[in-house]
Structure 1
Amino acid sequence: MAKSSLAIHETLEIHEIMTMKQACLVKAVAVRSFVKDETLEKLIAQDIKDSEQALNNLQKLLADHEGGGSHE
């Protein structure tokens, strides 16, 4: 099966999403150490895990389509 390619604007959108997700991840990691409430700490820990997974998925998506961008 042939690989589909991402248009330039799609690649840029993914990069924008990754930048925002990375900023949120950095903040979550930073504030986690200050949280006293156990429930909130668990929510932040889950958010960190989910954000890391989302970033990995987005990086894989870009890698899978690397070099195949359409210029339409």
Structure 2
Amino acid sequence: MTMKKYAMHEMLEVHEIAAFKTVCATKSKGMQILVSDPELKAILQQDVELSKQQLHELGMILSNA
């Protein structure tokens, strides 16, 4: 498997996306406490889980670059 080389601006963009996803996940997690509707709570929990997966993938990109 070949390693890809990324330009500095690409790495900065990935870092910016990771920071944004972290804020989104934190907000969704915090909103779960305030929400009483079970369907909305499930949507927020699904968003948190998906964000964790995406942050892991972004972390792998950053660590391999």
> Which TM bucket (shorter chain)?
over 0.9
Query: Partner amino acid for 2:31?
Result: V
Query: Partner amino acid for 1:24?
Result: C
What is the distance in 2 between the residues matched to 1:43 and 1:2? 38
Counterpart for residue 34 of structure 2: 34
- What TM-score do the two structures reach when normalised by structure 2? 0.93
- What TM-score do the two structures reach when normalised by structure 1? 0.85
Counterpart for residue 45 of structure 2: 45
Q: How does 1:46-61 map to 2 (within 5 A)?
A: 46-61=46-61
Shift >3 Å, 4+ stretches = none
Q: Which has the higher contact order (CA 8 A, sep 6+)?
A: 1
Query: Partner amino acid for 1:34?
Result: L
Counterpart for residue 2 of structure 2: 2
RMSD: 0.8
Q: What is the aligned length?
A: 65
Structure 2 residue runs of 5 or longer lacking an equivalent are none
Larger radius of gyration: 1
Structure 1 residue runs of 5 or longer lacking an equivalent are 66-72
Which deviates more from structure 2 when the two are superposed, residues 26-35 or residues 44-53?
26-35
What is the distance in 1 between the residues matched to 2:10 and 2:56? 17
* More helix, by proportion: 2
% same residue: 34
What is the distance in 2 between the residues matched to 1:59 and 1:53? 10
